[in-house]
Amino acid sequence: MRLPLRPAFPSAILVLLLASAIPAQAEEAPRPAPSAQPSAPPSLGADTLKPGKPAVKPYLADAALPDAVQILPPPPGHDAPLDKADRAAFANTRALKGSPRWEIAANDVAEGAAAVLENFACVLGTRIDQARVPAVINLLERARLDLAHATRGPKVHYRRLRPFVGNEAPICVQRTEKLADSFSYPSGHATQGWAYALILAALVPEKATPILVRGRAYGESRVVCGVHWLSDVVAGRLTGTSVFAALMGDPTFRADLEKARAELRAAMTGAGTPPDQAICSRETEALREPPLDF
Residue 53 has what pLDDT? Answer: 57
What is the C-alpha end-to-end distance of the chain, expressed in Å? 11
Which residues does the annotation mark as catalytic?
189, 222, 228, 232
In angstroms, the CA 172 to CA 87 distance is 17
The model's pLDDT over 117-163, given as tens digits with 9 standing for 90+, comes to: 999 999 999 999 889 999 999 999 999 999 999 999 999 999 999 99
Residue 52 has what pLDDT? Answer: 52
Q: Are 218 and 108 in contact (CB under 8 A)?
A: yes
Angle in degrees, CA 237, 242, 247, rounded to 5: 125
Q: In sequence order, what are the beta bridge partners of 127?
A: 273
Share of the chain above pLDDT 90, in %: 72
In angstroms, the CA 258 to CA 261 distance is 5
In a domain, 23, yes or no: no
Q: How many CB atoms lie within 10 A of CB 294?
A: 14
| Greater pLDDT, 235 or 44 | 235
In a domain, 62, yes or no: no
How many domains is the chain built from? 1
CB neighbour list of residue 41: distance below 8 Å, 6 or more residues apart: 152, 155, 156, 182, 183
With a cut of 90, say whether residue 46 has pLDDT above it.
no
In a domain, 42, yes or no: no
pTM summary value = 0.81
Residue 288 has what pLDDT? Answer: 83
In angstroms, the CA 81 to CA 67 distance is 26
**Residue 95: domain span:** 84-287
In a domain, 183, yes or no: yes
Task: From residue 137, give the alpha-carbon distance in Å to each of 75, 152, 259, 271.
Answer: 33, 22, 11, 19
Q: Are 185 and 239 in contact (CB under 8 A)?
A: no
In a domain, 217, yes or no: yes
In a domain, 9, yes or no: no
Residue 293 has what pLDDT? Answer: 58
| Greater pLDDT, 34 or 124 | 124
In a domain, 194, yes or no: yes
Is 73 buried (19+), middle (13-18) or exposed (0-12) by CB count in 10 A? exposed
Q: If pLDDT is split at 50, 70 and 90, which confidence band does 270 have?
A: confident
Residue 292 has what pLDDT? Answer: 64
- Nearest CA-CA partner of 264 in 212, 205, 204: 204
| Greater pLDDT, 251 or 12 | 251
CATH code of the domain containing 144: 1.20.144.10
Q: If pLDDT is split at 50, 70 and 90, which confidence band does 16 have?
A: very low
In a domain, 247, yes or no: yes
Mean pLDDT taken over the chain: 84
